[in-house]
Chain A
Amino acid sequence: MSAAVAEHDDHDDHHHDDHDHGPAKGLLRWIITTNHKDIGTLYLLFALAMFFVGGSMAMVIRAELFEPGLQFVDPAFFNSMTTMHALVMVFGAVMPAFVGLANWQIPLMIGAADMALPRMNNMSFWMLVAGVLLLASTLFMEGGAPNGGWTLYPPLVLQPITVGKALPFAIFSVHLLGISSIMGAINIIATILNMRAPAMRLMDMPLFVWTWLITAFLLIAVMPVFAGAVTMLLTDKFFHTSFFNAAGGGDPVLYEHIFWFFGHPEVYIMILPTFGVASTIIPVFARKPLFGYASMVWATASIAFLSFIVWAHHMFTVGMPIAGELYFMYATMIIAVPTGVKVFNWTATMWKGAMTFETPMLFSIAFVVLFTMGGFTGLMMAIAPSDFQYHDTYFIVAHFHYTLVPASIFILMAAGYFWLPKWTGHMYNEKIGQLHFWLSAISVNILFFPQHFLGLAGMPRRIPDYAIQFADWNMISSIGGFIFGASQLLFLYIVYDTIKGGTGEKVTDEVWEDAAKHGLEWTLPSPVPYHTWSTPPAAVPTEHVLDTH
């Protein structure tokens, strides 16, 4: 960095630690880099790797559930797999992938030269790696990885002796991941609020930037609460406090309240940037401005606000007073209103549009349809009396996988197809892309749709073995799971292939027809140069803020 400081006076002062001669040579570049594009790439590749690690764990789960009885793994390891699959996918794959997209896209979209705090940006990434490695290390410990579920409910993690070794590592890992995401969030807020091109007002910002701004506030508000909750677990286990230990006057139900006060906003942390990407992609392929821009912003903000006051719908069966059940039931159902506004707007954006169906658009349309289904089952479970039947069954598993896999994951795939040509300057192979889409879209439904039936019939979640009447749908679900898992290797191939040159077709600066009307990033050259927007753009596309007619 000393070179950068010395150069400071000689260069224009938008760059404080840029080197005009491009990236450093060799592997060290990736370790010391402070360039938002490099860090974005690191985040995305790391998330992709974790997607396959978490995915392999899901394959173990589906293999064990292929038939009733115990075939491949012992129950404790099975429980470790469900716990680790969730933790790895949430904290290692989905969240870092969106942070990666934020790193790449936010500066390009708002006309900033880099993120506001580039060195902290580097640190956030490497703390994430440290956190995930710490978590992964528990797999090799005596007694195995944490196996009490990703929620780490106290009776399950405090009482057994078996998780004694892994628990502190899992907790410190959560601390590191939390600090990493809080730093990332601070960086994103500072970038968006302080570094927009002067011509860009808040209500000119692309929806992806808006959703990330709101998500970043959610992160800052709830990650520390989770850190506090797991710290209490840690002191309960090792330092004789009794926050959740009934023997000392503590209350395990208190943990559930604190956890879900974090946990519910957390699920929106994973879905709001998804909404942002969908709102970016759909207008481009519908060749129309986004319908209802302002209502999209307000809907996002309302969902974020509501996420703080509905947490106890995760614990309807815990023995709450009737007034509490009613309040959390109605508050939860209200969320369907802003979410409905969003689905309406995406549909209205496509209405009478000159649509084409390239891979990113296919994934986005599938997202709108399948996410809506996940939303509907959410509404079913919001109804407290019905939830007593759905609680802790495969119905909830089906519900949240519908809102995460064909929603967040599909949109991450869409984002990859949408922006990879811009980042690399190479076009991906459309045929393989479409094949990847159709295989994924069909198999994801074979995988998760039968789980609704299993849940309604009463199959509990988190069990390695099950009663014989659940056998058929479990087998079908597992077959869907294997096809879905294998299909994702196509995506891995496409990413590799596109970086290496893709179809060989040179992409234009816009990549997609008239994309420059929709976002600043498409006015830059393809591939995007290492340094961009040293001088902020004079004007910003405003088409997306105009009301459609």
Chain B
Amino acid sequence: MATETTAAEGSSLVFHPMDQFIVKPLFGDGAIAWYTPTNVTLWLFFAILAIIGLLVLSTSKRAIVPTRMQSVAELAYGFIYKMLEDICGKDGIKYFPYVMTLFMFIVTANFLGLIPTSFTTTSHFAVTIPLALAVFLTVTVLGFVKNGAGFLGLFWVSSAPLALRPILAIIELISYFVRPVSHSIRLAGNVMAGHAVIKVFAGFAAIAVISPVSVLAITAMYGLEVLVAFIQAYVFTILTCVYLKDALHPSH
């Protein structure tokens, strides 16, 4: 990783801000098949470990007066639980493990990605698109299962004038199918952009005169990325809740 910003000899300023996103096999240099353990595998595994550590190990004492880590676990639980309850109502609660899984995975993957030289799994469309598609498919299937054809009422804006309704239906339909796209690209785009910008600033640090400014800029960007890491997980989760609400209560 260290060599990538100063890779080429001779010229001091060579940026490879995207190299941090390259998927590599963990063992050897072979081709990447679908089952090959890669750096993606490694950091997904770390995400699992972090989640187990945070939500399982920290609560193993079941303390009435919580320790610090247990408080964090309870805070995360209460945060997502309340979000889901506020948006979807009581009948949304049974999807809580699903929503919690999404939130915990994204937030831990984002924060693990902030560790220098780590690999950020959520910066890849290959990760965020399946997440968004899973939400999209779940919501669509759930909508039809729960409401039957009534789910189509989501596209038929009954409060609008009759003449406008077909046009609105088309717009609603398009916006519905754009959901997974925006849902996934928002997350990956935000995470990737921040990491790439930090790398670019790191590349400037090779010039002695600029390096203090560069270090300051990296620090500031890092702070911003910490915010982004949480906010993007939050946004993804709250949008999931909103889409779930559409499936449970499709009326406008």
Q: Do A and B assemble together?
A: no
Chain B residues engaging chain A, CB cutoff 8 angstroms: none
